[in-house]
Amino acid sequence: MADCATVGVFDSGVGGLSVLREIQRLLPQETLLYLADGAHIPYGEKSQAYIRERLVRVAEFFRAQHAKALVLACNTATVAAVADLRERYPTWPIIGMEPAVKPAAAATRNGKVGVLATTGTLQSAKFAALLDRFAGDVQVFTQPCPGLVEQVEAGDLDGPITRALLQRYLEPLLTAGCDTLILGCTHYPFLKPLLAQLIPPSISLIDTGAAVARHLRSQLEKVDGLNTGPALPTKFWTSAAPDSLEGVLPLLWGEAAGVERFSD
Ligand code: DGL
Q: What is the pTM of this model?
A: 0.96
Mean pLDDT, residues 192-199: 98
Cβ contacts of 203 within 8 Å, gap of 6 or more: 178, 179, 180, 181
Report whether residue 6 contacts ligand 1, using a CB cutoff of 6 Å.
no
pLDDT at 2 over 50: no
Report whether residue 208 contacts ligand 1, using a CB cutoff of 6 Å.
no
User: Any idea what the CATH number is for the domain that residue 21 is in?
Assistant: 3.40.50.1860
* Centre of ligand 1 from the C-alpha of residue 208, in Å: 13
pLDDT at 116: 98
Residues 181 and 92 in one domain: no
Pocket test for ligand 1, best of 35, 74, 148 (most atoms within 8 A of CB): 74
Q: For a pLDDT cut of 90, what percent of the chain falls above it?
A: 95
- Asked if omega into 230 is within 30° of 0 (cis), the reply is yes
Mean pLDDT, residues 69-74: 98
- Residue 71 binned pLDDT confidence (cut-offs 50, 70, 90): very high
Report whether residue 14 contacts ligand 1, using a CB cutoff of 6 Å.
no
* Centre of ligand 1 from the C-alpha of residue 2, in Å: 32
Report whether residue 121 contacts ligand 1, using a CB cutoff of 6 Å.
yes
Residues 201 and 257 in one domain: no
CB atoms within 10 A of CB 78: 26
Round to whole Å and give the CA distance between 179 and 204. Answer: 6
Report whether residue 185 contacts ligand 1, using a CB cutoff of 6 Å.
yes
Residue in 235, 186, 236 with CA at minimum distance from that of residue 210: 186
* Centre of ligand 1 from the C-alpha of residue 120, in Å: 9
Helix or strand or coil: residue 143?
Answer: strand
What's the domain range around 190?
101-207
Mean pLDDT, residues 159-179: 98
Report whether residue 18 contacts ligand 1, using a CB cutoff of 6 Å.
no
Residue in 171, 179, 184, 183 with CA at minimum distance from that of residue 138: 179
pLDDT at 1: 44
**How far does CA 245 lie from the centroid of its chain?**
16
CB atoms within 10 A of CB 206: 21
Mean pLDDT, residues 168-192: 98
* Centre of ligand 1 from the C-alpha of residue 222, in Å: 29
Q: Which of 57-66, 94-103, 221-230 is predicted least confidently? A: 221-230
* Centre of ligand 1 from the C-alpha of residue 52, in Å: 14
Residues 93 and 216 in one domain: yes
5-37 confidence digits (pLDDT tens): 899 999 999 999 999 999 999 999 999 999 999
- Residue 158 binned pLDDT confidence (cut-offs 50, 70, 90): very high
Q: Hey, which residues are catalytic here?
A: 74, 185
Cβ contacts of 218 within 8 Å, gap of 6 or more: none
Residues 223 and 241 in one domain: yes
pLDDT at 10: 98
pLDDT at 43 over 50: yes
Provide long-range contacts, Cβ within 8 A and 24+ apart, for 251-256.
251/155, 251/157, 252/14, 252/17, 252/18, 252/152, 252/155, 252/190, 253/17, 253/20, 253/21, 254/21
Residues 35 and 122 in one domain: no
Residues 115 and 189 in one domain: yes
Q: What single DSSP character describes residue 83?
A: H
pLDDT at 3: 55
Residues 156 and 116 in one domain: yes
Helix, strand, coil distribution of the chain in percent, nearest 5: 50, 15, 35
Residues 13 and 53 in one domain: yes
Mean pLDDT, residues 175-194: 98
Round to whole Å and give the CA distance between 141 and 123. Answer: 13
Residues 65 and 138 in one domain: no
Does residue 23 contact residue 72 with C-beta atoms inside 8 Å?
no
Pocket test for ligand 1, best of 40, 45, 75, 183 (most atoms within 8 A of CB): 75
Report whether residue 15 contacts ligand 1, using a CB cutoff of 6 Å.
yes
CB atoms within 10 A of CB 137: 6
Query: How many domains is the chain built from?
Result: 2
103-128 confidence digits (pLDDT tens): 999 999 999 999 999 999 999 999 99
Round to whole Å and give the CA distance between 107 and 182. Answer: 11
- Residue 4 binned pLDDT confidence (cut-offs 50, 70, 90): low
pLDDT at 264: 78
Residues 164 and 241 in one domain: no
Residues 196 and 111 in one domain: yes
Pairing of strands 94-95, 204-206: unpaired
Residue in 57, 72, 2, 74 with CA at minimum distance from that of residue 31: 2
Q: Which DSSP string do the residues of 209-259 spell out, in sequence order?
A: HHHHHHHHHHHHHHTT----SPPPPPEEEESS-HHHHHHHHHHHTSS---E
Residues 167 and 85 in one domain: no
Q: Which atom of ligand 1 is nearest to the CA of 12?
A: 9
Q: Which atom of ligand 1 is nearest to the CA of 121?
A: 10
